[in-house]
Structure formats: structure tokens, C-alpha cells
């Protein structure tokens, strides 16, 4: 029998330990976190954690009444890998790590590599069952590797899973249920891809998924990781690609998550002038840290490989690129060259794009980037960032501003429609009409249009025709096809009854 004080053989092999020690493991999720295994003939779970600054670590949970004395972990290497085998545990067990940090403060931390988490208000990680999903999308995956998406059609349907459709009682649909209905809807309307707003676990519904606490845990709101795999599988077999909205720009300051993880700024920037994001009250990742780069690049590969997703839309890239983003004079420090660019973040982005495209041919990456930063979709070998596409925020703002004007005055503002020609050849573009344009009292797209009811619908059709005729890939937020009169509400499903409104 395995006792709490015994030291069973490690589940982490020497090659993986060496890579972790060198902070160079390309897929750390494969060796860290909670994994089922056996020791001394007993089945249980191996828990492993990267916490180089910690003085002591224990794994705690319901199985030990959250007593940190029961299952202390042992440090496997000088660099900071901790491990503990707990016999008798099964999938679904709740756990956290009790970390006595370098600052001598004890914190209860969720697992950064946990593949399942409690749904809010719970904050614990859960032991995830080994995947039993048998993929049936081989034809799609094989064909995807040979597609040049810069030339192939892309018509993207942006979706917030929690408010696209719900049951009659207002409860959420499951991943498989959503997948079946999305596939039918997208095929009928001619969409080639769905872009899922962030589905990594997050505590606050009102963040829409952009404040992530479980980077490796698909949100449990809609089911299990295998149910998410089933959703992607069905969409692929229906001919629909899947892009994930991915958030490497920041993370919440919640004490149970990544902040001050081992009593040091293990994930956040150690410079107080760079650590906190002034707009969102979140922490900014330390892109100079080899560990942070390994964590984030590995996380991108995790979603691409484990869930067969076809691409990543990287959120808030501008906030990563500039040291003075949303900061006033005196609130930021120039880089070593005297400029305002975050050189470490730029290097990370290039590394991310090179790594993901090399590992997964046929995937696409797109940047939500709102400035004139050069060569966002240029080759890293030539000084570019390496994205396949950049969101054309300028087209979106100019077009909506033009069509929101009374037709009598548009003749003074035709430059709004033609200015795109000045920069069109500088990047490869996605033309977005996204969720950001129909919230926070901006009105719905229909609500922005002038004139009578009939004229407003005619103007909205003109906006969509303008988008369709422009060079670049297309993206529409869910519900645009319904022309709703009200703004998007993440707590309610779309007004599907308006689909029957002539």
C-alpha cells in the first residue's frame, strides 16, 4: 500500500525531466497536471507541478479533507518539478495544490495544467478522465494540410456558445448538441468556419471567456473535454472548420489562479510597471520568461492537437506589442532600444506562429490587432509576426461610420469607403463584424442604421454587400443573419423568432 510519506516511482521520464529542467519542453501539458497511473500495483493519480520558487507543496482535495499535511509532494529536480501519487483517486476528484511560496505565504492554487475545473462559483481543478473519444475526421484533417487558406474561401461565423441557443428553460446546451445545430446552421448559410469565443474555463460569465483561469480546461458549462472533441469532430465531418479565440495577453488576478503562483511572479511580468493591465485589472504575462513561453506555446499546441481545432484567433495583440498600451507618460519604461515596443512579446508571437504552423500544417492564426504595426501577417523570416491574417479594424470602423450617416450627408464622407485602398496590400485581411460592435451601448448593427424601418434594413444589407465584395476573408458575429433590434446579451439566447420576421 502506498503511504503519504512513501516515494513511488515517477511517471515523468528522464527525457521529459531534462526538458523541464531546461525550460524547453514543447508540450508540457503531456507531463504536468493530473494523470492516471499505477504505483505498487495500486491505481491512482500522479500529480505534477512546476513551482520552482516554492518551499513546500502538497496536493489537497476532498480525498484528504483539504489537509496539506496528508499528501506532501516531493521535488524531483532542482529546477522546480514537484510530484505526488495518490492511490484510489478517480476521474472527477476535486483538487488543488497547497503551495508554501518563496514569500512564506501559503496559497491554494488550481492546477495550471488541469484539464477540468469546477464551474463557478467553484474554483477547484478536477481529475479529468483519459480521453476515450475516437476521432472520425481523418478525411478533413488530411485535406486541411493541403489547403492554402490564403486563397481558399473563408466565411467565419463567430459564436458565443452560451448565448447562441439555449433550452426552453434557459439552461445551456451541451457541446454535442451545439455542434449538431451549428453544423446544420453554418452549412445552410454558407459559412466555412465557426470561431468560438473563448471556451477555456473562466469564472465570470460577463467576461465572455476572456479572463481565463483554466488554460487547459474546456469550460464545464457545456460538458466534458470528450464532449468538446465530439463537437469538433461533428463539425469537421460536416465540412465546417473550427477556430478558437485564444487569450495569451493577460490573466485574472484571482488568488487561486496563476498570480504569484509560487510566491514569485512566475507567470506575470516582474516589473510592476508592466505587470498589471490598466484597462482590465488583469496581469500581463512575462514574455521574457522561458517558462511563460513554454506554457503559452504549449497551450496553443494543446488545443490544436488534443481537440483538432483548425486555427487560433489571438485576442488583444496590440496590448502585447506596446509597452505604453493604455499607459500614460511615466507609467511605462522604454525597451532597451529606447522605444515603446515590447520586444519580448514580439519574439514570443513569432515563436508561437512558427511553432504552431510547423507542428500543424494547414492551421491558421489571426491577429486582433488595431494599430499600424507593420507586417503582422508577414513572414517571421522577413521580420513579420507570422500570422496568416490580421483583422481589418479600420475597414470595420470606417464602413459602420459611413453607413450610420444619413444618406444625404454621405457624399461628404466617401473617403470612408475608399481609404482602405491606401493600405490594402500591406497585410492579409479578415473583415470582421464581431461581437465588439454590438455591445456596451453601441447598438445592434440594425440599430446603427439611419432612416425608417425599411431603410434601416436596406442599409444593413448594403453593409453586408460591401463586406462581401471587399478583398479579404469574412467574419460575422452570430445573430447578424437575424438583424436583431437589440444589442447582444450574453445571458440570453439569440432572438430566433425574428428569423421569421419578413
> Catalytic amino acids?
315, 368
CB distance 104 to 53 below 8 Å: no
Residue at grid coordinates 503511504: 3
Those residues whose C-beta lies under 8 Å from the C-beta of residue 305, and which sit 6 or more positions away, are: 27, 359, 360
- Please report, for the chain, how many H helices and E strands are present, in that order: 13, 20
Cell numbers for 293: 513561453
Cell numbers for 291: 517558462
Collapsed DSSP state (helix, strand, coil) of residue 308: coil
CB distance 204 to 490 below 8 Å: no
Total Cβ atoms within 10 A of residue 428: 19
Residues in the chain: 502
CB distance 187 to 239 below 8 Å: yes
CB distance 288 to 220 below 8 Å: no
Q: How far is CA 440 from the centre of its chain?
A: 22
- Which of 135, 330, 159 has the alpha carbon at shortest distance from 236? 135
CB distance 132 to 449 below 8 Å: no
The whole-angstrom separation of Cα 472 and Cα 469 is 9
Phi/psi of residue 61, nearest 5 degrees:
175, -170
The whole-angstrom separation of Cα 59 and Cα 502 is 59
Cell numbers for 170: 434557459
Distance, first Cα to last Cα, the chain: 71
**Among the residues of 259-316, which ranges form H helices?**
272-275, 290-306
362: left (phi over 0), alpha (psi -120 to 50) or beta: left
Amino acid at each position: 500500500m502506498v503511504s503519504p510519506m512513501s516515494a513511488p516511482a515517477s511517471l515523468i521520464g528522464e527525457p521529459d525531466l531534462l526538458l523541464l529542467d531546461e525550460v524547453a519542453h514543447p508540450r508540457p501539458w503531456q507531463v504536468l497536471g493530473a494523470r492516471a497511473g499505477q504505483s505498487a500495483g495500486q491505481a491512482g493519480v500522479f500529480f505534477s507541478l512546476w513551482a520552482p520558487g516554492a518551499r513546500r507543496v502538497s496536493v489537497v482535495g476532498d480525498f484528504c479533507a483539504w489537509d496539506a499535511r496528508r499528501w506532501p509532494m516531493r521535488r524531483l529536480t532542482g529546477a522546480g518539478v514537484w510530484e505526488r501519487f495518490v492511490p484510489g483517486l478517480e476521474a472527477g476528484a476535486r483538487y488543488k495544490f497547497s503551495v508554501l511560496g518563496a514569500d512564506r505565504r501559503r496559497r491554494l492554487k488550481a492546477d495550471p495544467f488541469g484539464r477540468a475545473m469546477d464551474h463557478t462559483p467553484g474554483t477547484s481543478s478536477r481529475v479529468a478522465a483519459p480521453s476515450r473519444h475516437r476521432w472520425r475526421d481523418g478525411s478533413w484533417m488530411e485535406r486541411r494540410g493541403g489547403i492554402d487558406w490564403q486563397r481558399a474561401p473563408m466565411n467565419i461565423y463567430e459564436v458565443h456558445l452560451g448565448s447562441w441557443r439555449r433550452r426552453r428553460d434557459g439552461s445551456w446546451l451541451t457541446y454535442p448538441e451545439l455542434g449538431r445545430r451549428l453544423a446544420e446552421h453554418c452549412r445552410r448559410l454558407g459559412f466555412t468556419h465557426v470561431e468560438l469565443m473563448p471556451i477555456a474555463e473562466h469564472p465570470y460569465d460577463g467576461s465572455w471567456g476572456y479572463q481565463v483561469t483554466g488554460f487547459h480546461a474546456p469550460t464545464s458549462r457545456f460538458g466534458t473535454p470528450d464532449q468538446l472533441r465530439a463537437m469538433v469532430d461533428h463539425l469537421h465531418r460536416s465540412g465546417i472548420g473550427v477556430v478558437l479565440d485564444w487569450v495569451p495577453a493577460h490573466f485574472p488576478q484571482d488568488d487561486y489562479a496563476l498570480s504569484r503562483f509560487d510566491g514569485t511572479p512566475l507567470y506575470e511580468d516582474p516589473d510592476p510597471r508592466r505587470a498589471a493591465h490598466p484597462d482590465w485589472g488583469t496581469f500581463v504575462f512575462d514574455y521574457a520568461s522561458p517558462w511563460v513561453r513554454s506554457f503559452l506555446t504549449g497551450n496553443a499546441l494543446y488545443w490544436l492537437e488534443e481537440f483538432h481545432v483548425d486555427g487560433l484567433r489571438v485576442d488583444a495583440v496590440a496590448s502585447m506589442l506596446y509597452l505604453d498600451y493604455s499607459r500614460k507618460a511615466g507609467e511605462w519604461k522604454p525597451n532597451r532600444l529606447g522605444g515603446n515596443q515590447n520586444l519580448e512579446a514580439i519574439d514570443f508571437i513569432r515563436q508561437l506562429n512558427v511553432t504552431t504552423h510547423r507542428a500543424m500544417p494547414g492551421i491558421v492564426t489571426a491577429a486582433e490587432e488595431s494599430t499600424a504595426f507593420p507586417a503582422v501577417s508577414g513572414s517571421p523570416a522577413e521580420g513579420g509576426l507570422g500570422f496568416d491574417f490580421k483583422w481589418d479594424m479600420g475597414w470595420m470602423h470606417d464602413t459602420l461610420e459611413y453607413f450610420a450617416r444619413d444618406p444625404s450627408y454621405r457624399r461628404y464622407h466617401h473617403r470612408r469607403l475608399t481609404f482602405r485602398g491606401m493600405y490594402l496590400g500591406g497585410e492579409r485581411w479578415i473583415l470582421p463584424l464581431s461581437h465588439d460592435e454590438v455591445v456596451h451601448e453601441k447598438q445592434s448593427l440594425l440599430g446603427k442604421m439611419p432612416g425608417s424601418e425599411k431603410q434601416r434594413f436596406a442599409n444593413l444589407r448594403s453593409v453586408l454587400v460591401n463586406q462581401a465584395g471587399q478583398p479579404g476573408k469574412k467574419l460575422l458575429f452570430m445573430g447578424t443573419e437575424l438583424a436583431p433590434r437589440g444589442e447582444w446579451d450574453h445571458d440570453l439566447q439569440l432572438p430566433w423568432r425574428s428569423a421569421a420576421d419578413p
